[in-house]
Chain A
Amino acid sequence: MHSTGMRRRVGAVATVSAVAAMSLAACSPSGEGAETVVRIANPITDFWGDPLQEAAAVYEEQNDGIRIEIDSVPYDSYEEVLQTQLVGETAADILFLEPPAVANFSGRDFLLALDDELSPTTEWGETFVSGMLDATRSPDGRQYVVPWSSVAVLIAYRQSEFSAVGSNEAPVTFSEWIDVMNRLESEPAPLNVSLRGDDASLFWILTNKLEATLRPLTEDINLLHADDWAYDPDDLASTLGETYTTDELYVAFETGLIDPAQSPGYRAAVEQVVQLSPFINEDSATVQPADVAQRFGAGEIPQLIGVGGTIAEVGAEAADSEDIATFNLPTITQDDFPGLAAGGENPLAGPRNGFAVNAASEVQAEALDFLRFLTQPDTVSDMYRVQVQGDPSAVDGVAYPDDSVLQETDGQEFAQISPYGFGAPPTFDTQDTDEFHAQWQSLLTGNSSVDEFLEDRSASNRAALERNLVLEEDSIDQSFIDEQLGQ
């Protein structure tokens, strides 16, 4: 026959698949007998290649006439390849993406909006860990991504080194943490980080603190909301379906609420993180994240900030692995910032990546059907058995293999609407992000002051918001902006 995918099945499961094929052929645009191909772009070195292959084989068996094709691309070149293919209109139907790429691509209309299928109140939406969908929404307020795996940022440390300087318990408040580091004497520095653009562990801390310090402003920022909406930080459901749209963010910026140069909450968060600056390694601007992890594994440095999966991996390989424990990042408190009324920091956890559907795909219905299959707890559990993964699933109720150290990520404690999006620095587009890294490096290495940093941030944020206003012209409510800014 015509199909290459048919080779997989040697005549078995005939009746079952025949029924499936008939029902599918009825809604398939490619007509009877023809095979529909759904292509998935996947960065090969990020673990999921083999499990995806297995899941695809199972799905093909259940759905006759559908073939799932996996386009593997090396991780380092993934975004360049996708850019080229999206502009050249040859990209795969399903794209495996990380949060910054989702924001970048959705802003250019490359991705299909999934709000109808995937709001938190739909049946599919309820499959995911709470807060996961809200955290993966794009700046325009829409849902483009089906969350896949999640991360939690933790600090791993050697208990013996902490107790040697008199700390028998892990620090809870930020000042306790600073206090421990003042006493730790280690070369090259008590806290080793990579401040390159590709390491998230430190700027995530800032974003997380900002989300806490800006949270009391939720009602002032979210001016365009559902009619009977009311915000309650302790009721996770109170932010369901609400997002900060670009026009709201622009207004909040221009009125100073979220302007780094004007917002007291913003300054408080920055001033707290900058206390880490004296303890940071000299080569922070150049060292690779993997080298920092390796220093910790080799016992050269006492602690490591990182995502749970990497920490578990590095910790397990270290010679003194029983000495290693983890603690959560100390949160900002009302002592640090009196304006912090609506709860402290949420656990620093959220989506690591997810699947988006190409807006130009001709087989969107089939792509979505496959993604529904892929995000069933049973499928996910099977995939973790194919290969032990570093990150837990974004899907609720997954059974992890016995030999894995994975735990379900904590859900959020406080309801919030994120101005910046999870997993990203506090920025509004990729250029803003790029500028952030330069300014952030400069601040933490002592080359610029907090004031200079806040001024630079303010300028970059404003430029990005203005770019977004242009990008989202069609959905921007200009009269709202004019009215709010009194023009």
Chain B
Amino acid sequence: MLTPALAFVAVFIAYPLLRGFYKSFFDYNGGNVDRFVGMKNYIELFNDPAVLPSFVNVFWLTVALMLNQVGVAFIAAWLIHHLRSARLQYAFRIVVMVPAVVPTIVGFLIWSQFLSVDGAVNRILGALGAEWLIGNWLGDPDRVIIGLILVGLPWLNGINCLLFLAGLENIPGERYEAARLDRASRWQILRYMEIPAVLPQMIVLGVLAVVLSLQSYENVYVLTGGGPFDSSNVPGLLLFKNAFTYGRFGYANAIGVLLVVVIAVILLAGRMLGRGGEDR
């Protein structure tokens, strides 16, 4: 039952990954330079002044993304779940789902305009009397990460929302009935009944958000290119630049391997967390 899935992964993921791992010990530019250099790339990686800040940046982006993908999506699901009208429920399901078809590049375009010097964000701040907060959100190294965080935030992930909704719908009606008879508050129902019901989804989606965020580079690449003055680099972008811009595939692979290790650790931690949840 496992063979077909594992065969696909072995051929198209594991083999290229092993090849990439092997090449991370090489000085390799895809063309005329291809020689074994041992640990040189890894030593350079740990001495590269760009690496640590890039992980710090991606940490903040990841925290924000997780809050959005898990927190906001759950809140939306919870709100939809408690709508009285079945028709409204259905309508909102569609509303959260349809925007998933819009390519992410569209969101980037909108936000680069929102965050520009005379963009919506600054205008709203001005209108609220918070002039001291006005600034160049993507052009100021002190606030570019905040700008990038905003880019993901307000829209909820429709698929995550539907997954939470499915979890909530699985709670049998009798349990709500019982809770009502016990005069449980809305907060108690949320805390002791609804959140535990979707906890597995929360863990899975949270881990997924972390994993995808750690690999991501497109948002930074499109919006700031890692700037201004390299202040918004992320590991995924370093990997991308070293591979596709500098042609330093050996070093790029070393960055990639480091990312794989970090992500694997997080996945395993998530798995253990998930087990803990199941045992309870």
Contacts and interface: CB of A to CB of B under 8 A. Distances in A.
Let me know if chains A and B touch directly in the complex, using CB atoms closer than 8 Å: yes
Interface of A: 79-80, 83, 86-87, 104, 108-110, 188, 196-197, 282-287, 429-431, 434-435, 437-439, 441-442, 445, 447, 470-471
B31 interface: yes
B139 A110 contact: no
Nearest to B241: A434
Contact of B33 (A439, A447, A471): A471
Given A83-B244, A285-B136, A430-B247, A437 B31 contact: no
Contacts of A79: 244-245
B247 A104 contact: yes
Contact of B246 (A188, A287, A434, A441): A434
A431 B136 CA distance: 26
Interface in B74-112: 112
Contacts of B30: 83, 86-87, 108
B225 interface: yes
B34 to A, nearest CB: 10
Given A108-B247, A438-B230, A196 B33 contact: no
Nearest to A100: B245
B117 A188 contact: yes
Interface residues of B, number: 28
B32 A429 contact: no
Interface in B103-145: 112, 116-117, 136, 138-139, 141
Contact of A431 (B31, B32, B246): B246
Nearest to A439: B229
B224 to A, nearest CB: 7
13 contacts: A83-B243, A86-B30, A110-B31, A197-B225, A283-B117, A283-B139, A286-B136, A435-B230, A437-B227, A438-B228, A441-B229, A470-B27, A470-B33
A431 B48 CA distance: 13
A110 B33 CA distance: 11
Nearest to A108: B31
A447 B229 contact: yes
Q: Top 7 A-B pairs ranked by shortest CB distance?
A: A108-B31, A87-B30, A109-B32, A285-B139, A286-B139, A285-B228, A283-B117
Contacts of A80: 244
Contacts of A83: 30, 243-244, 247
Interface string B181-225: 000000000000000000000000000000000000000000011
A284 B247 contact: no
B29 to A, nearest CB: 5
B116 A434 contact: no
A286 B138 contact: yes
Given A188-B117, A287-B116, A430-B247, A87 B136 contact: no
B229 A109 contact: no
Contacts of B32: 108-109, 471
A441 B244 contact: no
